[in-house]
Structure 1
Amino acid sequence: MNEMLDAQRKLVPEMMEIMQRRYRMLKYVKMAGPVGRRPLGEMASLTERETRTMMDSLKMQGLIHVAKEGASITSDGITVLHALEPMMDDWAGRKSIEKKLTELLGIKSVKVVSGNSDTDQTTKNSLGMEAANQFASEIGNGKVVAVTGGSTIASIPPFIEKSNDTKDVLFIAARGGVGKEIGSQANVIAASFAEKCEGKYSTFYYPDTLSEEAHEAFRKEPTVLEMLQLYETTDCVLHGIGNAQRMAAMRNASDNEQKVLQGEGAKGEAFGYYFNRAGKVVHRLRTVGIKMEHLQRIPLIISVAGGQSKAEAILSYMASAPKQTMLVTDEGAANEMLNLQKK
């Protein structure tokens, strides 16, 4: 494939640029459709005239359908996207980055989408779409799926296509908790997954601020015991990775707790655990949820996190992540991880 791409670049260099722009536009339509011309142009950083010309070309080829509510991708468009994806990733250098990161992190696989979530909201949607694709292709006979909170994991359900493989799946929160951002809570996200998959979900509310005595008493409640049993049978986890200091601040951690995290060199957070650069757990929230020992036996783990600012956090978690982990990230985080490793 590389030889063919090189030959095409030399013979018709402008062809690859045109194909990449149309491929990107088609992907945006799939991601946001039905979508109007103006927001589509903003996503693709094109003028209104350029957007209209490209939409006309895609429509003429039967790859998109344009109606009053906006443009939507057709079945032929989806087929073209899937067929071109390996070549476009290879041409853009993402295949090489994925291979390097997979070896560096020592995990099952890495998938890199274009862009940087720190500066481009559409990149976070690309992360959600790619994570949805990975989930759909790997879930198999999965029965209990645990999901964490956060805006990145919340971006996945809209891109999940209904399948008979997921109708019997039970979605649960990977960790009990309550918070102010309702849409980013694990319970709400679990319900969103269940709705898109026509599956089931079970809610689990657990305050982060319980005293040790209250925590021990709460663990004996029937609902908690039931959830603990579900964690033992979980066979898929979809989770995000957070920046340690940022997550501590969001959870209103005390000044003393934040100083401890800083002193211990905490870089990343997942499942209520805080990790230093070497992957060592330096602090843990008093809560009920998926534990690190659970992860070792769970066959399908999909980590989703992007943005250059998340690179150090991702590396800290991945330093001790189970080998069966699949990472979905973006170019911003991927390139920064490689740069940090060189240093």
Structure 2
Amino acid sequence: MRNNIWALLNKIAPQEVEELVRRINILSGVAKLRPVGRRKLASYLNTSERKIRSSAEQMAELGLITTQSSGMRLTKKGDELRARFEAFGKIPGNASDLQKRMSKYLDVPEVYIAPGDVDKSASLEAIAFLSAMVLTSYLRPGCIIAIAGGSTMATIADEMSTSYPDITVVPARGGIGSQISTQADFVASRLAEKLGCQCRLMYLPDDLDYSTLRKLEKSTTIKDVLGLVKKADIILLGIGRADSMANRRGLENSQMQTLLSLGAVGESAGHFFNIEGHTVYQSPSVGGHINFEGENHITISCAGGYSKAEAIIGAVRHHKPAVLVIDEGAAKGIAEKI
């Protein structure tokens, strides 16, 4: 398994990483012991009071903690950051037992697990933040990223902050549904904006018939974009439940029932598949025929929520990613299914 993100950052700026880890630990420690004094916190974190004082003073200036006679407490801003860094904090060191179990069960080389369950919190921030960190670790000068649409992909794009002006972002396929903010073109454009890099778009809906799509794919603009998709170094895909994705794609009720009767449990990149990973239906789409399998690129699949357990199992059997990012809710559901 490749070096984790913390190890990569440590090679670039070891002192900065040490301070970052200390501040994350302070956030966690203060959250558990509040109110807490510097001496007690230093003992709890097994570090010196001097280091705690230095870091805490700077964190107070940033509005992350408050210091009173009773001890330190987290501000609302500090507590929000602590919650988000819980996902980041799972990466350093050895993988957790749950990560190892998921990697073994699903036969996926790398599995990262964000805290929580999106089904309960209705927030994609934790899994998107972790996915963004994983994606950042794979970025290289000159690389091409193909990203699919969907709410998870859109949130990941918003979480990116690293500047990589010399890479290219393309949509992995055409748009989908009526919500523009989650269509692949829009998500790709947003990701490119956050990375400060160039972007090539398709400007096409996702619900055209096969004949029209095949004709459009011959146009110079679309052909050029599809050429970049085929050469993508990193492919970022979401995973959806078959029923909800069929609804998003505007399938009629009779079509949806037929799809579910065929055993469809999930969808990714336009392919509906059963629990064994076999395709039962492929929606018409520009780029839908492109094969994302192979060793010339890295596929990162992301999905969260207990309710998506079967969809995730089917997805990794349909097309095994190099990296899978899920949350604790999804991991629990997967463990119960396998």
8, 20, 23: which one aligns with 2:28: 23
Residue identity opposite 1:22 in structure 2? L
**3-state secondary structure, aligned to 1:111:** strand
Q: Which residue of 1 aligns with 2:47?
A: none
1:57-76 matches, cutoff 5 A: 60-63=56-59, 65-66=62-63
Pairwise CA distance, 1:96:
0.6
Q: Which residue of 1 aligns with 2:3?
A: none
**3-state secondary structure, aligned to 2:58:** coil
Whether 2:332 is the aligned partner of 1:335: answer yes
Q: Which residue of 1 aligns with 2:8?
A: none
Aligned partners of 2:30 and 2:265: how far apart in 1? Answer: 36
1:166-315 matches, cutoff 5 A: 166-289=164-287, 291=289, 293-315=291-313
Q: Which residue of 2 aligns with 1:42?
A: none
TM-score, normalisation: structure 1: 0.73
Residue identity opposite 2:285 in structure 1? T
Aligned partners of 1:159 and 1:131: how far apart in 2? Answer: 9
Long gaps (5+) in structure 1: 1-18, 27-45
- Rate the CA distance shift 1:21–1:275 in 2: closer, same or farther, 3 A: farther
Cα offsets for 1:79-137 (capped at 9, x unmatched): x98995457x98xxx81111011111111210001100011144x10111111111111
Q: Which residue of 1 aligns with 2:99?
A: 98
Long gaps (5+) in structure 2: 1-23, 42-51, 65-74
Give the paired residue count.
284
**3-state secondary structure, aligned to 2:325:** strand
Whether 2:134 is the aligned partner of 1:134: answer yes
Q: Which residue of 1 aligns with 2:153?
A: 153
Give the conservation status (yes or no) of the 8 Å contact 2:243–2:256.
Answer: yes
Aligned partners of 2:219 and 2:88: how far apart in 1? Answer: 51
Give the conservation status (yes or no) of the 8 Å contact 1:231–1:290.
Answer: no
Give the conservation status (yes or no) of the 8 Å contact 1:142–1:236.
Answer: no
Q: Which residue of 2 aligns with 1:326?
A: 323
Q: Which residue of 1 aligns with 2:18?
A: none
Q: Which residue of 2 aligns with 1:316?
A: 314
**3-state secondary structure, aligned to 1:155:** helix
Identity %: 27
Pairwise CA distance, 1:192:
1.4
**3-state secondary structure, aligned to 1:62:** helix
Residue identity opposite 1:195 in structure 2? E
Greater CA drift, 242-251 or 137-146: 137-146
- Rate the CA distance shift 1:84–1:174 in 2: closer, same or farther, 3 A: closer
CA RMSD between the two structures: 3.2
Pairwise CA distance, 1:149:
0.9
Cα offsets for 1:42-82 (capped at 9, x unmatched): xxxx9xxx99x58x999835336129xx9767xxx9xx989
